[in-house]
Structure 1
Amino acid sequence: MEGMLDCLLKALENLPIGKGRSYEKNPNQLNIVYAHHYLAKNGKWNENIRMSDIPLLQNDKQCTVWEVGAHTSAADSQKMKKQYPHCTFHAFEPVPLFFDELVTTLAHDPLHYVAHGYGLANESGRFRIDPNLLDGQGTYLGAPAVEVVLKDEEKPPQFGVLKTFEDAKKEAGNKAPSLLHVNCEGCEWTMMPQLLQNKFFLANIPLLQINFHNYGETLGTRVVQYCNIVSELRKTHEPVHQIPFGWERWKRKDVPQEMAA
Structure 2
Amino acid sequence: MSNTETTNSDANILESIATLKNESNWDLNAQQLTDEDIKVLVKELQSNKNCNVLHLHLNNITDDGVSYLAEMLKVNQTITDLYLGANNISDRGMIALCQALSHQNKTLIVVDLTYNQITDESVNMILDLFKINSTLMGLIIVKNNINKTTSKFQCDISLNSYKICLKYSNDITHNKEISNGIETYLMLKKENETLVNQSTYWNEDDRYKPFTKLTSTSIDSSCQIIYCGANEFGTDGLHLIRQNQNCQVWFFEPIPIFYDKLIHSKEILEILKTGKHHLFNIGLSNKTQIIPITLNDIKESQALSLVNILNKHENIDKVLNYEIILRDIYEILFEFNFLLKTDIIINGELNLLHMNCEGCEYDVIERLYETNLIKYIRIIQFASHRLNSLRQTINHKYCCLQQSLTNTHKLIFSIPWAWERWIRYDLI
Asked if 2 retains the 8 angstrom alpha-carbon contact of 1:71 and 1:137, the reply is no
How much is the aligned-residue C-alpha RMSD, in angstroms?
2.8
Alpha-carbon distance between aligned partners in 1 of 2:363 and 2:227, rounded to the nearest angstrom: 16
- Work out whether 1:39 is the aligned partner of 2:183: yes
- Work out whether 1:204 is the aligned partner of 2:376: yes
Residue 11 of structure 1, CA deviation: 1.9
The equivalent of 1:144 in structure 2 is none
Change (3 A) 1:168 1:104: farther
Q: Which amino acid aligns with 1:38?
A: I
The equivalent of 1:187 in structure 2 is 360
The equivalent of 2:208 in structure 1 is 51
Residue 249 of structure 1, CA deviation: 0.4
Alpha-carbon distance between aligned partners in 1 of 2:425 and 2:336, rounded to the nearest angstrom: 24
Asked if 1 retains the 8 angstrom alpha-carbon contact of 2:294 and 2:317, the reply is no
Alpha-carbon distance between aligned partners in 2 of 1:5 and 1:45, rounded to the nearest angstrom: 22
Alpha-carbon distance between aligned partners in 2 of 1:217 and 1:122, rounded to the nearest angstrom: 17
Matches within 5 A, 1:73-92: 73-92=233-252
2:283 to 110, 119, 127: 119
2:338 to 165, 170, 174: 174
Alpha-carbon distance between aligned partners in 2 of 1:166 and 1:195, rounded to the nearest angstrom: 7
Matched residue of 1:203: which SS?
A: helix
Alpha-carbon distance between aligned partners in 2 of 1:112 and 1:212, rounded to the nearest angstrom: 29
Asked if 1 retains the 8 angstrom alpha-carbon contact of 2:408 and 2:424, the reply is yes
Q: Which amino acid aligns with 1:40?
A: T
Q: Which amino acid aligns with 1:69?
A: G
Change (3 A) 1:139 1:186: farther
Alpha-carbon distance between aligned partners in 1 of 2:256 and 2:317, rounded to the nearest angstrom: 19
Could you tell me the TM-score, scaled by structure 1's length? 0.78
Alpha-carbon distance between aligned partners in 2 of 1:100 and 1:90, rounded to the nearest angstrom: 16
Matches within 5 A, 1:245-256: 245-256=417-428
Change (3 A) 1:136 1:57: farther
Change (3 A) 1:99 1:152: closer
Matched residue of 1:134: which SS?
A: helix
Asked if 2 retains the 8 angstrom alpha-carbon contact of 1:63 and 1:178, the reply is yes
The equivalent of 2:124 in structure 1 is none
Structure 1: unaligned runs, 5 residues or longer: 18-30, 141-149, 257-261
Matched residue of 2:163: which SS?
A: helix
Matched residue of 1:109: which SS?
A: helix
Residue 91 of structure 1, CA deviation: 0.9
RCO comparison, higher one (Cα < 8 Å, 6+): 1
Matched residue count = 232
Residue 204 of structure 1, CA deviation: 0.7
Q: Which amino acid aligns with 1:211?
A: A
Residue 58 of structure 1, CA deviation: 6.4
Matched residue of 1:251: which SS?
A: strand
- Work out whether 1:107 is the aligned partner of 2:272: no
Once the two structures are overlaid, the 10-residue window that deviates more, 180-189 or 35-44, is 35-44
Alpha-carbon distance between aligned partners in 1 of 2:165 and 2:317, rounded to the nearest angstrom: 47
Alpha-carbon distance between aligned partners in 2 of 1:153 and 1:45, rounded to the nearest angstrom: 31
Per-residue displacement from partner, 1:153-203 (whole Å, max 9, x unpaired)?
84242211122224322453434431111111122233332233221x211
Asked if 1 retains the 8 angstrom alpha-carbon contact of 2:296 and 2:317, the reply is no
Q: Which amino acid aligns with 1:52?
A: K
Provide the identity percentage. 24
Q: Which has the larger radius of gyration?
A: 2
Residue 127 of structure 1, CA deviation: 1.0
Change (3 A) 1:166 1:213: closer
Alpha-carbon distance between aligned partners in 2 of 1:153 and 1:137, rounded to the nearest angstrom: 14
Residue 129 of structure 1, CA deviation: 1.3
- Work out whether 1:159 is the aligned partner of 2:316: no
Per-residue displacement from partner, 1:16-75 (whole Å, max 9, x unpaired)?
34xxxxxxxxxxxxx944211112224321112110011323666621211111112211
- Work out whether 1:131 is the aligned partner of 2:295: yes
Change (3 A) 1:57 1:119: same
Could you tell me the TM-score, scaled by structure 2's length? 0.49
